[in-house]
């Protein structure tokens, strides 16, 4: 290996005792119900959904080729999608609809995202083509203490980043909704939060997916009285068709609607958050909440095969990995993501892109993480020249920065485009299933466990088996590194908005979808969203593939190039995409069929 980029990267890791903790196998179950449908048919589909919900059959099949309209919404739950369409019909724009969808997902998909968590909102405003990512990621509290997470021998304290008050980051979603509404919306928060308030107060019938998630998480839910009362309800929650009512969350949403930022980050709600976190081992103070800020970040832009890709900057590591992979693949003519010659190149690009993740962290630290250096053309040219068309490069020959396997089974994504061309790609999370399992006193707010996305020590993997570097250490006020990658793809045909939950696999999911979308002249969202997926992330040095969709010949061709292939027992991902054509402005939405199976993946 003569390439100068081989084995060149190094990072000054501190050494310490090693006691990684792994995600329980049970955490490997993610339930997201996803739905998409055109603006023309929400009421019918809503009625059909309610009917099937009662029967315990949780969703519809995707329906490509339905009547196209000028606006489209794809989200993980039909009631959230319906809320977004209602707001569009009431005169709201895509940003107003995004507030309604995000708040409704907080009610109907509580195990994935919510007011107790955070997220990223990638925006495009049509009138001036302004693009920004609202960073509503959680932050570490000012008094975060290393001793809470490491014992006297420097070993990780099991559970401290996942359960109880020490696991919880200062929530950002509520502030994100206020910012989105005030800076970009047409309607008031009172109007856009109305559907979510109604869903919380009147309740909704839980689907098969919710029932399974509650069943699976019951031990976690039962640890906290408030949480158990709301989300487990003495076992009723494990039965599809049970009505989940959240009157306290309705009141909290009303406070947010009436008082904006102060309705959440000061007063009754703030005090309840602080009391709950601190009674459960955390160290929050009022200023942590009062000083929370949504940050407007400049998105990353990449040209790839004639398309303009817009994606998430730090504190998402996902957009940087996606950008690096696309730069590395730009010189190649790819026949689509499924083609085995292309697949080899895509895997090699992913391998290289993931090598650099451990240098990344909160962009506001000094010195900031070396994003520019990692995206510099000369650096990527050298890295690209190390790719052999014939053979896989073993990761250990490439560099010495291990980044381990990452599965994420919660988080949620939605995509919206309105008739004017305003766009929202939003990915939101409370981290693991039902987050930390803490509900803040009488607020109905389920709190995240996003502190686990920090790197306690470079040699410790987090719950998703991801390792990182000191740039992602849990320091006061810092935002933990994320993999969430909301993305826009603009080409001569139109704009595609996409994203997915799935931890580090978000990057490969979005990459494969972009390549597949651009490789075919016809737009076929169902083909793109349902194509079989594979993934590589440098370490472990394996190509993970989904259990179906790959022929023996395909697998043999990859193995002949020395790829170590591991067939996963489950499919993964829950992609939500919309597309709007330049030619006539028609829009279509498509949800991932994987979210419409038995609800496990």
Selected range binding ligand GLY among 276-284, 302-310, 479-487, 544-552, rule: CB under 6 A: 479-487
- CB proximity list for 262: less than 8 A, separation 6 or greater: none
Contact status, residue 32 vs residue 209, Cβ threshold 8 Å: yes
The number of beta carbons lying within 10 Å of the beta carbon of residue 561 is 17
Q: Is 72 helix (H, G, I), strand (E, B) or coil?
A: strand
Closest chain position to ligand GLY (CB) = 482
166 assigned to active site: no
Work out the angle at residue 399's Cα, subtended by the Cα atoms of residues 396 and 402, and round it to the nearest 5 degrees. 75
- Beta strands 494-498 and 576-581 are antiparallel
- CB proximity list for 313: less than 8 A, separation 6 or greater: 133, 297, 298, 299, 300, 319, 320, 363, 371
Residue 525 C-beta: closest distance to ligand GLY, Å: 24
113 binds ligand GLY (CB under 6 A): no
484 binds ligand GLY (CB under 6 A): yes
Query: Binder to ligand GLY among 185, 503, 573, 595 (CB under 6 A)?
Result: 503
Bridge partners (DSSP) of residue 125 are 130
Residue 485 C-beta: closest distance to ligand GLY, Å: 9
Which CA distances in Å does 595 have to 58, 66, 100, 435, 576?
Answer: 10, 20, 21, 20, 10
For tokens 């490509």, name the residue. Answer: 64
Work out the angle at residue 298's Cα, subtended by the Cα atoms of residues 292 and 304, and round it to the nearest 5 degrees. 140
DSSP string, 73-93: EEESSHHHHHHHHHHHHTT--
Query: Binder to ligand GLY among 227, 324, 411, 590 (CB under 6 A)?
Result: 411
Residue 114 C-beta: closest distance to ligand GLY, Å: 13
- Separation CA 428–CA 434 (nearest Å): 13
Show contacts with ligand GLY in window 415-454 (CB under 6 A).
429, 431, 450, 453
Q: Is 399 helix (H, G, I), strand (E, B) or coil?
A: coil
Q: Is 119 helix (H, G, I), strand (E, B) or coil?
A: strand
**Cβ closest to ligand GLY, residue 163 vs residue 453:** 453
Residue 88 C-beta: closest distance to ligand GLY, Å: 28
**Cβ closest to ligand GLY, residue 280 vs residue 431:** 431
Q: What is the DSSP letter of 111?
A: T
Residue 354 C-beta: closest distance to ligand GLY, Å: 14
User: By rule CB under 6 A, what count of residues binds ligand GLY?
Assistant: 10
**Cβ closest to ligand GLY, residue 78 vs residue 468:** 468
Token reading at 530? 């349902």
Contact status, residue 577 vs residue 424, Cβ threshold 8 Å: no
Q: Is 579 helix (H, G, I), strand (E, B) or coil?
A: strand
**CB crowding 446-479: b at 16 or more within 10 Å, else e:** bbbbbbbbbbbbbbbbbbbbbbbbbbbbbeebbb
C-alpha closest to that of 513 among 486, 553, 482: 486
Binding mask 67-96 for ligand GLY (x = CB under 6 A): ------------------------------
Residue 202 C-beta: closest distance to ligand GLY, Å: 30
**Cβ closest to ligand GLY, residue 161 vs residue 246:** 161
**Cβ closest to ligand GLY, residue 386 vs residue 482:** 482
**Cβ closest to ligand GLY, residue 113 vs residue 248:** 113
**Cβ closest to ligand GLY, residue 362 vs residue 453:** 453
Work out the angle at residue 419's Cα, subtended by the Cα atoms of residues 416 and 425, and round it to the nearest 5 degrees. 15
Selected range binding ligand GLY among 156-164, 282-290, 370-378, 482-490, rule: CB under 6 A: 482-490
**Cβ closest to ligand GLY, residue 119 vs residue 240:** 119
Query: Binder to ligand GLY among 39, 483, 508, 596 (CB under 6 A)?
Result: 483
Query: Binder to ligand GLY among 39, 53, 395, 482 (CB under 6 A)?
Result: 482
461 binds ligand GLY (CB under 6 A): no
Residue 503 C-beta: closest distance to ligand GLY, Å: 6
For tokens 């942590």, name the residue. Answer: 288
Token reading at 512? 């494969």
Binding mask 205-244 for ligand GLY (x = CB under 6 A): ----------------------------------------
- Separation CA 84–CA 109 (nearest Å): 15
**Of residues 161, 411, 412, 455, which has the active-site annotation?**
411
Residue 75 C-beta: closest distance to ligand GLY, Å: 18
Selected range binding ligand GLY among 162-170, 251-259, 276-284, 477-485, rule: CB under 6 A: 477-485
Q: Is 252 helix (H, G, I), strand (E, B) or coil?
A: helix
408 binds ligand GLY (CB under 6 A): yes
**Cβ closest to ligand GLY, residue 116 vs residue 185:** 116
Residue 249 C-beta: closest distance to ligand GLY, Å: 21
Residues marked as catalytic = 411
**By the criterion CB under 6 A, which residues form the site for ligand GLY?**
408, 411, 429, 431, 450, 453, 482-484, 503
């Amino acid at each position: 290996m003569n390439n100068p980029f081989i084995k060149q990267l190094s990072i000054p890791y501190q050494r310490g005792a090693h006691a990684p903790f792994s995600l329980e196998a049970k955490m490997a179950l993610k339930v997201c119900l996803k739905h998409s449908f055109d603006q023309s048919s929400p009421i019918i589909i809503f009625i059909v959904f309610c009917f099937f919900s009662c029967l315990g059959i949780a969703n519809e099949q995707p329906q490509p080729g339905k009547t196209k309209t000028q606006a489209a919404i794809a989200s993980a739950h039909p009631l959230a999608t319906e809320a977004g369409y209602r707001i569009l019909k009431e005169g709201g724009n895509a940003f107003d609809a995004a507030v309604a969808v995000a708040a409704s997902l907080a009610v109907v998909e509580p195990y994935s995202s919510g007011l107790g968590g955070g997220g990223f909102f990638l925006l495009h405003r049509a009138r001036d083509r302004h693009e920004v990512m609202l960073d509503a990621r959680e932050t570490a509290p000012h008094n975060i203490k290393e001793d809470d997470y490491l014992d006297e021998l420097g070993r990780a304290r099991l559970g401290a980043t996942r359960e109880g008050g020490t696991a919880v980051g200062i929530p950002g979603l509520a502030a994100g909704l206020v910012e989105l509404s005030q800076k970009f919306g047409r309607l008031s928060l009172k109007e856009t939060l109305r559907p979510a308030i109604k869903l919380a107060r009147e309740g909704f019938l839980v689907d098969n997916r919710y029932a399974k998630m509650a069943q699976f998480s019951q031990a976690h839910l039962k640890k906290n009285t408030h949480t158990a009362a709301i989300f487990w309800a003495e076992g009723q929650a494990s039965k599809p068709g049970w009505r989940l009512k959240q009157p306290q969350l309705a009141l909290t949403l009303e406070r947010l609607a009436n008082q904006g930022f102060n309705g959440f980050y000061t007063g009754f709600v703030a005090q309840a958050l602080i009391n709950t976190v601190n009674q459960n081992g955390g160290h929050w103070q009022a200023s942590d909440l009062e000083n929370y800020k949504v940050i407007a970040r400049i998105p990353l832009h990449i040209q790839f095969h004639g398309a303009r890709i817009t994606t998430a900057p730090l504190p998402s590591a996902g957009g940087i990995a996606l950008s690096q992979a696309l730069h590395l693949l730009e010189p190649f003519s790819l026949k689509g993501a499924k083609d085995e010659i292309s697949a080899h190149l895509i895997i090699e690009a992913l391998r290289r892109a993931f090598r650099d993740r451990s240098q990344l962290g909160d962009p506001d630290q000094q010195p900031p993480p070396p994003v520019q250096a990692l995206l510099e053309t000369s650096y990527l040219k050298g890295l690209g020249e190390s790719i052999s068309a014939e053979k896989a490069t073993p990761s250990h020959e490439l560099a010495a920065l291990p980044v381990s396997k990452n599965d994420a089974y919660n988080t949620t994504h939605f995509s919206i485009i309105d008739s004017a061309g305003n766009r929202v790609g939003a990915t939101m999370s409370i981290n693991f299933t039902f987050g930390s399992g803490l509900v803040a006193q009488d607020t109905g707010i389920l709190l995240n466990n996003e502190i686990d996305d920090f790197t306690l020590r470079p040699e410790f993997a987090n719950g998703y088996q991801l390792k990182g570097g000191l740039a992602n250490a849990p320091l006061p006020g810092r935002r933990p590194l994320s993999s969430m990658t909301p993305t826009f793809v603009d080409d001569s045909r139109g704009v595609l908005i996409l994203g997915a939950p799935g931890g580090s696999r978000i990057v490969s999911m979005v990459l494969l979808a972009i390549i597949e979308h651009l490789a075919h002249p016809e737009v076929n969202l169902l083909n793109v969203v349902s194509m079989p997926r594979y993934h590589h992330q440098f370490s472990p040095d394996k190509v993970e593939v989904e259990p179906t969709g790959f022929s023996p010949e395909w697998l043999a061709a990859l193995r002949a190039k020395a790829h170590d292939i591991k067939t996963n027992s489950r499919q993964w991902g829950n992609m939500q995409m919309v597309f709007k054509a330049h030619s006539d402005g028609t829009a279509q939405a498509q949800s991932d069929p994987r979210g419409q199976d038995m609800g496990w993946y």
